[in-house]
Structure 1
Amino acid sequence: MSAADPSDGSGPRSAPVDRVVLAVVAVTLLALLARFVGLGSRPFHWDEARVGYWSLRFLDTGAFEYRPVAGGPFLYVVERFVLGAVGATDATARAVVAVVGGCSPLLALLFRRRRSADASATPRYRLTDTETVAMAGLLAVSPTLLYYGRFLRGDLPLAVFGLVVVGCTVRVLDAEDAAAARPYRYLGAAALAVAVAASAFVVGYLLCWLAAAALTVDQRRLVDAGEGARDHLERAVERLRGTTRSALGAVGVFLVVHLFFYAPRVDGSIRPSPAAVEAAFLGAARAFYGVRVVGRRQGGEHQLLPYLSAHVETLLAASAVVVGLAAVGFLADRYGRGETRPVIAFHAYWAGASLLVFPVITEESAAWLTVHTVAPAVVPAAAAVGLLGRYASRSLSRDDAVGVAVAALLALAVAGQLGVAAAGTAYGPTTPENPLAHHAQPADDLDPFVADVSTAIEGNDGVDVLFYGPEFVPVYDDRPDRPPVSDAWGNRLPLPWYLERLGAETDGVREEAGLDALESQPPVVVADASRRAALAARLEGYESSTYRLSLWNREVVVFVR
């Protein structure tokens, strides 16, 4: 027998396979598949069209500057690389968000109990193996996260990178020494910078984190630690601060990532200069304050109760299973017999705070706000799944057939409800009955529009697509190269995205006199559906089609020569 043969007990042994990691990776692959199947089947929402259109303009001109009204710069900067590399389609544009959402189950490993040779040193306050896999599964299939993981907005990236920040914080608190904590401190700083670049709603995350941290510390003082709570808090703060070198390194990582996303670009690249640094930090802060704070004070207020009730209704309609599991997980942890776990309490309080924070800070009541409640709720929800797993295991060990049957039925009910909700929302028809479908989602398939316009403008010289009527044409010269733009241009959405993809030259006239002044009739004319009869009499040799550009109250007629 060879000396290197491990079977004699003397040779090297391979490390055991970590089944939890394998399970989480398998869930991640399924999550990616779920997000990429039919990714381009739903037409672009107006918000998606804005992001897509200005990403194409950035790709074309190479010029970019942060504009708060258009959302965070993360998607625009990344989309420029993606669209330039693989081309512009609905699916490729959404691929960035799909990859972020599809990979999100991996971050469940950040909340897993750390393995240690010293069993007494293993943190008891994190997720068990079963709960880790459950969290990964909930991130993969929760209807809200799945729907908006196939949607070109910054909400899902913000939620994922927000969880990464908290997960890295957990790892820093659990690290055995400063060297082990350093990678997570730097990763957390980078994730925070990306979260800031993803969406202005990051302000809501900071508020929720502060509230959740205060309530978690207070709970630990009242329930577990008593007078020792201050000592626990001081040790946690000391671990998070780390050495001066690591703290400065984390700040440096944050600043570099922030500069990368917020610095203005010329010819597609950042020009290193004091002006670029000033624009990325002071200029961006001033712009954000002027639009999101001063602008809100000047007529952006809204009543809280209608927004709050709409937020809760959408949660219960689309993510009742996750919300219910989160409530059970939190209550069992808070009032159960064993020690409470801060990681469960923190995320439960975070989700609870989001119910109030986001309806307050948002300017529009929309279904995507539920992403910011469901994302933290998956942690206490995973704890509830773990509770069910432990109940099933105990029943099985006692040969309790009734207990095993109850556990199996509950598991089937949870999985079935999640599957039905996901199928009905993420893959279901785009109708007002879909609780996650926003009114600015086109009700009709726009692929025929793209095909007709593409054929009609081929070889055309001059204006390819003419928008007709005051609904689509402002009284002043509107150049939509960058936001903000007029409401009239906004009424064209999501068509500008599709027309920009085709390279179509567009123009507009407000009245019939403008049509008469044209040197030649363009191959495509777009107008409000109410103007069909008047235009049909003037546009001989054209065929018309009607498209619903929203779930209600937005129909256009398209004349194609």
Structure 2
Amino acid sequence: MDLGRCRPGVRASDRTRARSKAGHSLRRRLREQHGLEDRPRGSEEELTGPRTLEQIEETPEAAPVSRQALLAAGILLALLTLTTRFWSLGDRPFHHDESIHAHQSYTLMKDGNWRYDPAYHGPFLYYANALVYRVLGASNATARLLPAIFGLFLIAAAIPLARWIGPGAAAAYAALVLISPHLTYFSRFIREDVYSLVFTLGTILAFQTFLETDRARWLTLAAVSFALAGVTKENAYMTGVLFVAYGAWALVERVALAKGRKGALVQAVRSTASWVRARILPLATAALVFLAIWALMYTAFGKYPKDWLAIPKAIKYWMGQHSIARIPGPWYYYVPQLLYYETAIVFAACFSFRRTRHGSPFQRFVLFWAVGSLLLYAWAREKVPWLTVHALLPITILAAVGVASLWRDRREKRPRMALAVFFVLALVNASGMLLACFRYGAHDLEREPKHAEILAYVQTTRDLTRALEQVEIARGKVAPGEPVVTVAGEASWPLTWYFRDTPTKWVTRIDDATTPILVSDWDPQGGLEKQLAAQYTAKRVPIRAWWFAEKYKPDPNGPARPTLTDLLRWWLFHEIWSPIGSQDSTFFVRKDLASSGPLTPLNVPLQNTSARDYAGGSAAVVPAARAFGEPGSGNGQFNEPRGLASDSRGNLYVADTKNGRIQMFDPNGQFVRAMGSPGSVDGQLKEPCGVAVDADGTVIVADTWNHRVARFKADGSWLGVLVDDVRGFFGPRAVLLSHGFLYVADTGNKRVVRFDKDGKRVSDWGTPGSGPGQFVEPVGLAADATGNVYVADTGNHRIQVFDFEGKFLREFPVFGWKDFYTEPYIAIGPTGSIFATDSTEGRVNEYDTAGTLHHSWRPDGVFKRPTGVTVDPLGRVAVSDRETHRLYYWNLADVLR
């Protein structure tokens, strides 16, 4: 008897009376096969839950799909897969990270040099891409060829997956991967993540096959695949944690469900040990194969034998990155990514949840994998779009199971409605995939200024690649081997990749113009542009562009929150509602480049106008009058101290950032008290960076990663918080009290916010950019005797001066501040001079009010990352070093002599 072919009109009661003993047996087998529950009629059942047998019997079977239709669908899927993975593969401008990976692979191919650096992940990408270059040559397309091929493998995984999720779900999986914006985009992107996905999935499928067949070759294949995942990217460590966690969960579940629980744990452990002993040879073989691959690749095939393990180096580096939240975001960062781009997949996955929870062990593992990945990557503090794919892959498998379930039940009303919604969402997401992969939005500021992708994060612009067309013209007008272009500044990546075969002068600053084309950081003062006006045409070119749509990072000039219409139009058409930010360079092109014939030699001496490089000489060594502090969390110990403040008595207040507190010291450096503890509730601080103290002893704190301003009473007790309930803070780095106002450097939102003495928000000023009153990473704040506010505008390498209401007065360039993460703080001395730290060069500078550098010094001994600075009423300047975890005092008379 085939229950799937029962006539629709037969009532359940009639069939029940006629059912034979054989029918009962078949009923049990059907339940076991599908994980079904035999429930009483009339019970409410969620669509996503397992159906009762009566519901199975009453559901008319959907018409089977013809062989011709299946063949046509397969051919269409193959054509679409090839098109979406390979069409115009080299067309999109190379992302900053892509250029690093592509160029290091190119260097490996040419010179054979590579050594493991955890910042750039494992060796597989570099050796694999070097092989591609060796065979096919190096180009934009060949650099991305292997990721595209692995994108094919990811879709082809539907074939082995069918064994555990069924052919219908496998077909749905292939289609979902095909239209997924994330999985498609990063299959056309030279990063390690698509390799990692394929190797992880290969490990799971091979090991599952081994468990079912007990054939050693599948265990060896699983070891090979997991070793390749490990030599690709450190995500394999997190995946390994999930594998172990699931094994422990399965053991606990087995014990919990045992009928005789007494001794069940012992029995489970014994049976597991027995299973291992019986397979000790294949397990040992797999382990040796794993270690061989791991050691060979991490040692660069024996060249660096000490690098064979790699794990300690990787953990040390990435836990360090985790602790500083280099690219921060909230714990739910990946939720909007999934909801915006993968709506159909998330929707369909919801319909598989209960069915999978009661389904086969493999499907339950996939559910564990999906939830575990979401939790792990929510915990990891580096939030970037490409990490979305690691949770997305298991969610896609769950979604495929959900789609197959709905398709099987499509004759029923609710599944049919759910399918209709799914197909609409899938259409929108497929459109989003095409927009993200084949129209580059914010990355073409000249032609597409109103569209953007949060999937792309910070992306190289088409404006840059268009500017490079002049380089090709110039190559034909200079003698072979002569430099064609001179490059200084932030454009070095991705230009290092683009100029890999172009004779190029790479310099820290441009001292003379000898090449047809010069590239430097854009200077709002136009220093080089004025000097080269007679010989060169200057054009400002955005090299990298970004747009942050997240609600936790609002636009300072736009509405407090995007409207529902804004969100809908972005979801449908990727139209943005706030300005696009960019990092710009200036391209200088010889005016006679368009003339016929070769160019005549040219040498134009230039006066350095860059605010980034010191005129010459190292910092003076001035011994500190006092230095104290050491790493730790005890009283007088520090963990990355940053902002400093002093009160009228000479007491010093220190933002002890990584310890989540403020420490107070008397004028002699003796510990007085600590305020706050790590956390996010009242009385706690999350990596505070800035501190100020009022005349009555009230302590104001830039509670950076709680995105608020905290206040403590003079005795250290909790007073409350200030928030900007109009727009919200994002990573405030500094606070300043001046003439009855509180100023907050709202760094992430590129503005300054002003409050009155009662904590009422009065005004704000600042937008992203490089013009007067615009900021790129504003950090330090200071005020002079008249109430003028000074702002350390890090990314623009300048200090801007405003009146107390935020009206722009003037600006002057500073030396140093080369790194975007310099975190410079500033202070005003008794004569009006400005003290500024420069953590990238390891020195403290003193400027006059016109911006002239008069003194630059450092202490004797180790001095690495000077950050916070304050001038106290006792005639001393105090500086914090966030890397050595120490504080330094100098007498002003000693440093200003």
Q: TM-score scaled to structure 2, two decimals?
A: 0.49
Cross-structure match for 1:376: 394
* Equivalent position of 1:548 in the other structure: 542
Cα distance in structure 1, aligned partners of 2:260 and 2:436 = 46
Instruction: Tell me the residue number matched to 2:229.
Output: 195
After superposition, the Cα gap between the structure-2 partners of 1:96 and 1:208, relative to the gap in structure 1 and judged at 3 Å, is same
Residue 505, structure 1, aligned to residue 504, structure 2: yes
- Give the secondary-structure state (helix, strand or coil) at the position aligned to 1:198: coil
Q: Look up the SS of the partner of 2:441 in the other structure.
A: coil
Identical residues among aligned pairs (%): 25
SS at match of 1:153: coil
How much does 1:408 deviate?
Answer: 5.8
Partner of 1:366: 384
User: Equivalent residue for 1:67?
Assistant: 117
Indicate which of 313, 317, 332 corresponds to 1:287.
313
Corresponding letter in the other structure for 1:292: W
Counterpart position of 1:525: 518
Q: Alignment partner for residue 340 of structure 1, among 349, 356, 359?
A: 359
CA contact (8 A) 1:93 1:152 kept: yes
Residue aligned with 1:202, SS: helix
Partner residue, 1:252: 288
Give the match's secondary structure for 1:83. helix
- Which residue of the partner structure matches residue 208 of structure 2? 170
Cα gap change, 1:37 to 1:532, in 2 (>3 Å):
farther
- Residue identity in the other structure for 1:330: F
The 2-side partners of 1:25 and 1:69 are apart by: 41
What is the identity, as a one-letter code, of the residue corresponding to 2:208? V
In 1: Cα distance, 2:273 partner to 2:342 partner = 35
Match of 1:428 among 419, 439, 461: 439
Partner of 1:135 in structure 2? Answer: 173
Q: Equivalents in 2 of 1:536, 1:80: separation in Å?
A: 40
Q: Per the alignment, do residues 367 and 408 of structure 1 end up closer, same or farther by CA in structure 2, a change over 3 Å counting?
A: closer
What residue in structure 2 maps to residue 483 of structure 1? none
Structure with max Cα Rg: 2
Partner of residue 479, structure 1: none
- Asked if the contact 1:43/1:445 (under 8 Å) is kept, the reply is no
- CA–CA distance in structure 2, aligned partners of residues 329 and 168 of structure 1: 24
Greater RCO (Cα-Cα under 8 Å, separation 6 or more): 1
Tell me if the contact between 1:350 and 1:376 (Cα under 8 Å) persists in the aligned partners. Answer: yes
Aligned amino acid, residue 341 of structure 2:
A
Instruction: Note if contact 1:546-1:558 (Cα within 8 Å) is conserved in structure 2.
Output: yes
Which residue of the other structure, out of 306, 324, 332, is the alignment partner of 1:300?
324
CA distance in 2, matches of 1:239, 1:449: 64
TM-score if structure 1 supplies the norm length?
A: 0.76
The one-letter amino acid paired with 2:294 is H
What is the CA distance between 1:376 and its match in structure 2? 1.3
What is the SS of the residue equivalent to 2:540? strand
Report the AA paired with residue 342 of structure 1.
P
State the match for 1:150 in structure 2. Answer: 188
In the alignment, which residue of structure 1 is the partner of 2:531? 538
1:531 Cα offset (Å): 5.7
Q: Which residue of 2 aligns with 1:327?
A: 350
CA distance in 2, matches of 1:523, 1:142: 44
Q: 3-state SS of the aligned residue for 1:152? A: coil
Post-superposition Cα deviations, 1:26-58, rounded to whole Å, max 9, x if no partner, equal: 745642331111212210111101111211222
Q: Is the 8 A contact 1:456 1:523 kept in 2?
A: yes
What letter is aligned with 2:223? Answer: A
- Please give the alpha-carbon distance, in whole angstroms, between the structure 2 residues aligned to 1:240 and 1:154: 33
Is 2:394 aligned against 1:356? no
Alpha-carbon displacement from aligned partner over 1:219-270 (angstroms, at most 9, x marks no partner):
6776899969978897788668862322222122212322342222xxxxx4
In 1, distance between residues paired with 2:269 and 2:283? 18
Deviation string, structure 1 residues 484-508 (Cα, Å, up to 9, x no partner): xxxxxx65221111011x3332221
CA change 1:108–1:183 in 2 (3 A) is farther
Query: Deviations along 1:516-546, whole A, 9 cap, x unmatched?
Result: xxxx611221012226843233334333343
Answering whether residue 440 of structure 2 is matched by residue 438 of structure 1, we say no
Distance 1:166 1:229 in 2: 28
1:41 and 1:237, CA in 2 relative to 1: closer, same or farther beyond 3 A? Answer: farther
Q: Which amino acid aligns with 1:555?
A: D
Match of 1:208 among 242, 245, 255: 242
Distance 2:82 2:307 in 1: 33
Indicate if the aligned counterparts of 1:351 and 1:376 stay in contact, CA closer than 8 A: yes
Instruction: Give the aligned length.
Output: 476
Distance 2:385 2:241 in 1: 20
The alpha-carbon deviation at position 192 of structure 1 amounts to 0.5
* Structure-2 separation of matches of 1:160 and 1:445: 34
RMSD: 3.4
Residue pair 2:491, 2:543 contacting (<8 A) in 1 also: no
- Per-residue Cα deviation, 1:410-467 (whole angstroms, up to 9, x for no partner): 453253233223223233323273130112x023244433332122134445443223
Residues 1:159 and 2:167 are matched in the alignment: no
Q: Distance in 1 between matches of 2:79 and 2:289?
A: 30
Q: CA deviation at 1:558?
A: 1.2
CA displacement at 1:279 relative to structure 2: 3.0
Distance 1:158 1:383, change over 3 A: same
Name the amino acid aligned to 2:394. P
- Give, in whole Å, the separation in 2 of the partners of 1:324 and 1:239: 40
Task: Report the Cα distance in structure 2 between the residues aligned to 1:26 and 1:240, rounded to whole angstroms.
Answer: 46
Change (3 A) 1:491 1:52: same
Q: CA deviation at 1:186?
A: 1.6
**Residues 158 and 202 of structure 1 are in contact (CA less than 8 Å); yes or no, is this contact kept in structure 2?**
yes
Instruction: Give how far 1:59 is off.
Output: 1.9
Moved more, 425-434 or 98-107: 425-434
Q: Secondary structure at the residue paired with 1:426?
A: helix
Aligned to 2:661: none
Residue 97 of structure 1: aligned partner? 147
Amino acid at match of 2:89: L
Measure, in 1, the Cα distance between the counterparts of 2:277 and 2:75: 32
Report the residue type matching 1:355 in the other structure. L
Pair 1:26–1:77, CA change in 2 (3 A): farther
Matched, 1:409 2:420: yes
Aligned equivalents of 1:385, 1:229: Cα separation in 2: 38
**8 Å contact kept, 2:332–2:378:** no
Matched, 1:454 2:453: no
Amino acid at match of 2:226: L
With over 3 angstroms needed to count, the CA separation of the structure-2 counterparts of 1:241 and 1:466, relative to structure 1, is farther
Does residue 459 of structure 2 align to residue 465 of structure 1? no
Kindly provide the amino acid, as one letter, of the partner of residue 185 in structure 2: Y
What residue is the counterpart of 2:134 in the other structure? 84
SS in 2 for 1:66: coil
Determine which structure has the larger strand proportion and give its number.
2
Q: For residues 300 and 21 of structure 1, do their structure 2 counterparts lie closer, same or farther at Cα, with a shift above 3 Å needed?
A: farther
> Secondary structure of 2:331's match?
helix
Question: Does the 8 A contact of 1:58 with 1:80 survive in 2?
Answer: yes
SS of equivalent to 2:487: strand
